[in-house]
Amino acid sequence: MWTLISASPSPYARKVRIALAEKGIPFTLQTEVPWDGATVTPQYNPLEKLPVLILDDGECVYESHYILEWLEAKHPEPALLPSDVDGRLFAKKVEVVCDGMCDAMVIAFFERMREPEKQSEPWKARQMRKVEGGLRQLSTWVDQRQGQYLVDDRLTIADLAIAAFLGWFAIRWSEHGWQTQYPALKQYWEGLEALPHFKETRPSPQTIKDQVV
Ligand SMILES: N[C@@H](CCC(=O)N[C@@H](CS(=O)(=O)O)C(=O)NCC(=O)O)C(=O)O
């Protein structure tokens, strides 16, 4: 059986967990703290990041957007990408924005872990500008959707990516006012979170034991 190396808060890993569940692929979930020295993650990914999908023959598939691409190629049913080229490219563009917002949040999170005098306010502000800009973009896209889902009115990686970011953002920055500022985005997100495979993969905080920065 395949193993997915994951972390309890990981938005990137949550996309893959939902995709595997939607495709009915059984897997063992191995929860790690990739920032701790004891993690096994570097044994499976030279970039030392999770998620990593470990196949039966030991091959490792890593980088969440690539894992999803790989799953669509190897296990195309049920498809998590639209059938038309423009729809597929749009769904991947949505994932680019969501992954980029996650990346910015991770950078800002670890900047805040430094001693206060070593933190760069302009650097943190730059990261948060990306999150605010991304939220605006997601809100615009969601306002243009027809039904419950973002594209083709069926579940695609665009929905997985948005829910993964917003679900993580809601626990990482609970006091942010995005749910008031963008009510349609909040309603769309709540609709996704009510789905079984989203309910089963809700993020939770992790404890990082080792000093990272
Ligand atoms: N681009 C990667 C990002 C993955 C990533 O940053 N994972 C974090 C953990 S989490 O933020 O998803 O919880 C990690 O392993 N970080 C360890 C490191 O960067 O060395 C992907 O999409 O898979």
Give the residue, by CA position, lying nearest to ligand 1 atom 18.
49
Of 6, 14, 49, which is best to mutate to test ligand 1, by the most ligand atoms within 8 angstroms of its C-beta? 49
Average pLDDT of span 72-97: 97
Any idea which of 57-71, 153-167, 198-212 has the lowest mean pLDDT? 198-212
pTM of the model: 0.97
- 213: pLDDT strictly greater than 90: no
Name the band, by pLDDT with cuts 50, 70 and 90, for residue 85: very high
Neighbours of 113 (CB within 10 A): 13
Q: What is the Cα–Cα distance from 206 to 32, expressed in whole angstroms?
A: 9
The answer to whether residue 5 scores a pLDDT higher than 90 is yes
- CA-CA distance, 38 to 208, in Å (whole number)? 11
Residue with CA closest to ligand 1 atom 22: 64
Does the beta carbon of 64 lie inside 6 Å of ligand 1? yes
Q: Is the ipTM of this complex over 0.95?
A: yes
Q: Which listed CATH number (1.20.1050.10, 3.20.20.100, 2.60.40.420, 1.20.120.80) goes with 85-200?
A: 1.20.1050.10
Ligand 1, atom 13, lies closest to the CA of: 10
Banded pLDDT at 79 (limits 50, 70, 90): very high
pLDDT at position 147 over 90? no
Size of the chain in residues? 213
Determine the Cα–Cα distance for residues 50 and 13; give it in Å rounded to an integer. 7
Q: Is the pLDDT of residue 168 over 90?
A: yes
pLDDT value of position 136: 98
Q: Please state whether 153 falls in left (phi above 0), alpha (psi between -120 and 50) or beta.
A: left
pLDDT tens readout for residues 101-121: 999 999 999 999 999 999 999
Q: Does the domain spanning 3-74 belong to CATH 3.40.30.10?
A: yes
Confidence check: pLDDT of 163 > 90: yes
d(CA 157, CA 161): 6
Ligand 1 binding pocket mutation candidate from 12, 165, 172, 212 (most atoms within 8 A of CB): 12
Q: Where are the domains of the chain?
A: 3-74, 85-200
pLDDT for the residue 152: 87
Average pLDDT rounded to a whole number, residues 123-133: 97
